[in-house]
Amino acid sequence: MKSAEFMQWVTASPELDHHQRKLLSEALHQQCEAVTVLELIETSFDTHHACPHCAGVQLYRHGVVSGLQRYYCKHCHKTFNALTGTPLARLREKPKWLNYLSAMARSQTVRGSAAGAGVHRNTSFRWRHRFLNWISQDRPTKLQGITEADETYVLESNKGQRHLGRKARKRGGHASKPGISDEQICILVARDRSGQTLDFVTGNGPLTKPLLTASLKSVLDADALLVSDANPTYTAFCHAEGISHEVVNLSQGQRINGAFHVQNVNAYHSRLKLWLGRFHGVATKYLPNYLGWRRAFEQHGQLTPERLLNAALGNFQYLTVT
Ligand SMILES: [Zn+2]
């Protein structure tokens, strides 16, 4: 629009009635949000700037479609945009993404996020897990030095699934069997003294040596010293793998063994469980996504919609997708 024409338009704006003004304001807001989201997407792509099909870096600009730059890859002759190959490809209603991510940065429920962004509950659920898809894969690859490990349990939940073999528990509920049973899901957390944290959903029932080996063997650095409680599973694992090990006998009231304790990992468990509580029982199937979301809070403290979008596109601390 030419500037003279635009000024005429602005001059005429007082003639709008209240309802029209609100509609116009909403339309302008949506357009601004869309531009911001598109800019963030393009900027995120620029950090690696490679073809999602073949990782080629000789790219030509190839027009703009739906506000996003299209590229042509000289190497594999395919075209793509910044979202191709990401979990956010073909996700609609971009103007609402930042509002939605802002709700996620405030740990809102699926229902609360839906209301905040003005989308349907089913859309809210789908978006949540699309955004968390890559965020949950952003994990350190090694734990070094003194590393605390301990397991915690949450009740298995088939929330959202129909045709249950038993009556569904309401809002988390209670286990019917005492102690650790196959009704409970084990979450193993290992954290080194630099704060690098890894979590593993090892499955139903108690932690066993094979499950511990499958989780920790490849991620413990050669210099790692594992600190755990007196659960013999840890002793057996460390003995078999030749890993230095210190035990804190919590059941006998011992909280510290010299310089060794598991207080960091236990505090992590407490924060995790308190936070999970706000979602009134998380479906077991989606637990890894929620653990990834929690790690993002732990690593970055304050999350912003922009930071979450960047992470959802693969630009985060550990994970760089090219
Ligand atoms: Zn290519």
What distance in angstroms lies between residue 73's CA and the mean position of ligand 1's atoms?
Answer: 5
Residue 322: per-residue pLDDT: 43
Residue-wise pLDDT for 202-251, tens only, equals 999 999 999 999 999 999 998 999 999 999 999 999 999 999 999 998 88
Contacts for 295 with CB less than 8 Å, ≥ 6 apart = 136, 138, 139, 197, 199
How many whole angstroms from 80 Cα to the centroid of ligand 1? Answer: 9
CA of 50 to the centre of ligand 1 (A): 8
**What is the 68 CA–ligand 1 centroid distance (Å)?**
18
Cα(58) to centroid(ligand 1), Å: 8
Contacts of 262 (CB under 8 A, 6+ apart): 148, 149, 150, 227, 228, 229, 248, 250
Distance from Cα 56 to the centre of ligand 1, integer Å: 5
Where is 188: in which H helix or E strand? strand 184-192
Q: How far is the CA of 7 from the centre of ligand 1 (A)?
A: 46
pLDDT tens sequence across 140-173: 999 999 999 999 999 999 887 655 555 555 555 6
Distance 84 CA to ligand 1 centre (A): 12
Residues with pLDDT less than 70, the chain: 161-173, 178, 317-322
- Beta bridge partners, 315, equal 320
Residue 49 CA, ligand 1 centroid: distance in Å: 11
List, in sequence order, every residue forming a beta bridge with 70; answer none if it has no partner: 81
How many angstroms separate the alpha carbon of residue 32 from the centre of ligand 1?
32
pLDDT at 254: 81
Long-range contacts of 272-281 (CB under 8 A, 24+ apart): 272/152, 272/187, 272/189, 273/152, 273/154, 275/107, 276/154, 277/172, 278/107, 278/109, 279/109, 280/109, 280/171, 280/172, 281/155, 281/157, 281/159, 281/169, 281/171, 281/172, 281/173
Residue whose entry in the numeric block shows the structure tokens 């509920």: 173
- Output the CA 242–ligand 1 centroid distance in Å: 45
Span from the CA of 197 to the centroid of ligand 1 (angstroms): 35
- Cα 279 to the center of its chain, rounded Å: 15
DSSP string, 265-314: HHHHHHHHHHHHHTTTS--GGGHHHHHHHHHHHHHHSS--HHHHHHHHTT
What distance lies between CA 13 and its chain's CA centroid?
A: 44
Cα-to-centroid distance, 217 and ligand 1 (Å): 36
Q: Which two tokens stand for residue 75?
A: 């190497």
Ligand 1 centroid, distance to 45 Cα (angstroms) = 14
pLDDT given at position 167 = 56
Distance 35 CA to ligand 1 centre (A): 27
Ligand 1 centre from 320 Cα, in Å? 18
What's this model's pTM, rounded to 2 decimal places?
Answer: 0.88
Q: Ligand 1 mean position to 48 CA, how many Å?
A: 13
Bridge partners (DSSP) listed for residue 79: 72
Ligand 1 centroid – CA 313 distance (Å):
18
Name the token pair of 254: 């011992």
Residue type, 63: G
For 289, half-sphere exposure in the C-beta direction (CA atoms, 13 angstrom radius) is 18
How far does residue 81's CA lie from ligand 1's centre (Å)?
12
The span from the CA of 157 to the CA of 295, in Å, is 21
193 CB burial (10 A radius; 0-12, 13-18, 19+): middle
Q: Quote the pLDDT of residue 61.
A: 96
Give 55 Cα–ligand 1 centroid separation in angstroms: 6
Question: What is the CA(130)–ligand 1 centre distance, in A?
Answer: 24
